[in-house]
Structure 1
Amino acid sequence: MTRRIVQLLLGLCLYGVGCALTVRAGIGVDPWTVFAEGVSKQTGVGIGWVTNVIGFLVLLLWLPLRQRPGIGTALNILLVGTSMQATLEVVPAIDGWLWQGATFFAGVLLVALASGLYIGAHFGPGPRDGLMTGLHARLGWPIWTARCVVEATVLVTGWFLGGTVGIGTVLFAVLIGPLVHVALPLLDTPAVPRAADQPSTARTSPSSR
């Protein structure tokens, strides 16, 4: 349990750091960050704080979908945007294509590593992932359809609001899936068997459970 909690907290914080690095690279970000950046430009509120608010609003969409959040869902809303905002406060904008590319790829790798950490901790999905699975469960949409519809909507909306769409947006979409596919098996925590799944024996002593 201790390992899972540490892994969850570390993963969520690193996820925000990785997203902040892609923002600072300035060559395009993932759809949800495009949306957060666009809202930030229109309101003057920091991108990280906007990310937290968006996460909370997305969580409200779980109610009609009858999704049940876990502790990881709540901490996702609190920590990802906060660590993102803290990183943006200390990391300046990057100039030059070489440094922008290096910063962007460092951010994507960090997001993939962070995803493996927090998903592998098994404390519940993030609010955005839960929205996809909720649409799948309630409406029967394939997961890929739900993801495409939702992410295309936030991407276009964020772009109109002034979010950064560029080659980095495409690279993120292409790279993140395979990278998480590699990271998750390495960082997945062993499933804890439930008591009901344990072989039952008469009068089992506490020390043998």
Structure 2
Amino acid sequence: MTRRITQLLLGLALFGLSITMMLRGVVGIPPWDVFTQGFVNVTGLPFGMLTIIISVVLLLAWIPLRQKPGIGTVGNALLVGAFIQLFLGMTTVPEELWQRILLFAAGLVLNGFATGLYIGARFGPGPRDGLMTGLHRVTGKPIWLVRTSIEIVVVAIGWMLGGNVGIGTLAFALLIGPLVHFFMPLLHVPPARSE
């Protein structure tokens, strides 16, 4: 249990750091962060705070889908945004394009690793993943179609509100699946015999 809790908290902290790195890369950001950044432009609220607000709204959307949150779900909703805000306060945007590209790439790989950490701790999916799996279960549509549809909608809304869509957005969409697929088996905490 100690390992699982430590792994969950480390995963959520690194997830927040990875998002910060991609934001500071300014070469395009992941779809849900484009959405969040669009609402930052409209409301003027801090990115981390809006990440938390959006996560809580998504958890409310779980109710009609009959999804059950775990400790990790709630931790993700409340802590990732706080970590993002903390790390944004400690970092700046690099001046050179090559530095920003490297920062984004490192953030992308770290995001895959952090996702494997927090999901591997087996305390429940994050609000966005739970929305995806809930819609998949309710609609019967393939998981890839549900995820792709959600991400197209959030990118479109975020982009219309001024979110940063770029080559990094495409890179994230193409590479995050394989990265998580690589890291998850390595970081999965097997159930204890008593579970």
Sort the TM-score into its range (normalised by shorter chain).
Answer: over 0.9
Aligned to 1:68: 68
- 1:142-199 alpha-carbon deviations (Å, 9 max, x no partner): 111110111111100000011000000011111111111111111111123456xxxx
Q: Following superposition of structure 1 onto structure 2, how do residues 1-209 of structure 1 map, counting pairs within 5 Å?
A: 1-194=1-194
| Conserved 8 A contact 1:26-1:94 | no
Deviates more, 1:165-174 or 1:186-195: 186-195
User: Aligned partners of 1:38 and 1:147: how far apart in 2?
Assistant: 20
Instruction: Return the TM-score normalized by structure 2.
Output: 0.97
Q: Distance in 1 between matches of 2:132 and 2:110?
A: 23
Matched position secondary structure for 2:21: helix
Note the C-alpha offset of 1:34.
0.3
4+ runs deviating over 3 angstroms = none
- SS of 1:61 mapped into structure 2: helix
* Higher alpha-carbon Rg: 1
**What code does the residue aligned with 2:10 have?**
L
Deviation at 1:131, TM superposition (A): 0.5
TM-score (norm 1): 0.91
Q: Following the alignment from structure 1 to structure 2, what is the Cα–Cα distance between the partners of residues 193 and 150?
A: 37
In the TM superposition, residue 54 of structure 1 has moved relative to its aligned partner by 0.4
How high is the sequence identity, in percent, across the aligned residues? 51
State the alpha-carbon separation in 2 of the partners of residues 77 and 172 from structure 1: 21
Deviations 1:10-51 (A, max 9, x none): 101110110011001000001000001110111111111111
Provide Cα deviations, 1:52-87, integer angstroms capped at 9, x if missing partner. Answer: 110000111101101100011000011111101111
